[in-house]
Chains A and B, each alone.
Chain A
Amino acid sequence: MQDSTPFSFTLVITGAPYSSQAPQSALSFAAAAIRAGHRVDRVFLYGDGVQLASALASPPSDEPHWPREWSSFLEKHGIPGVACIASALRRGLVDEGEQKRYELTASNLLAPFTIAGLGEWVEGRMSSSRTVYFHGSD
Chain B
Amino acid sequence: MSTLIVIDQPPYGSWAGREALDMAFSLAAFDQPVSLLFCGAGVNWLRKGQEPGTIRQKSVEKNLAAAPIFGVEALLADGDDCNRYGLEAEQLLDGVTVVQADSQLFTNYSHTAFAG
Contact = CB atoms under 8 A, between A and B. Distances in A.
B23 A118 contact: yes
A119 B116 contact: no
A119 B114 contact: no
Contacts of B114: 133, 135
B103 interface: no
Contacts of A46: 19, 23, 116
A47 B32 contact: no
Looking at chain B's contact residues, the main secondary structure is mixed
Given A14-B116, A46-B116, A133-B113, A87 B30 contact: no
Given A86-B19, A118-B22, A126-B32, 20 more contacts: A12-B113, A14-B16, A14-B116, A46-B23, A46-B116, A47-B116, A48-B116, A87-B19, A117-B26, A118-B26, A119-B26, A121-B23, A121-B26, A122-B26, A122-B27, A122-B30, A126-B1, A133-B114, A135-B116, A138-B16
18 contacts: A14-B16, A14-B19, A14-B116, A46-B19, A46-B23, A46-B116, A47-B16, A47-B116, A48-B116, A86-B22, A118-B26, A119-B30, A122-B30, A125-B111, A126-B1, A135-B114, A136-B116, A138-B116
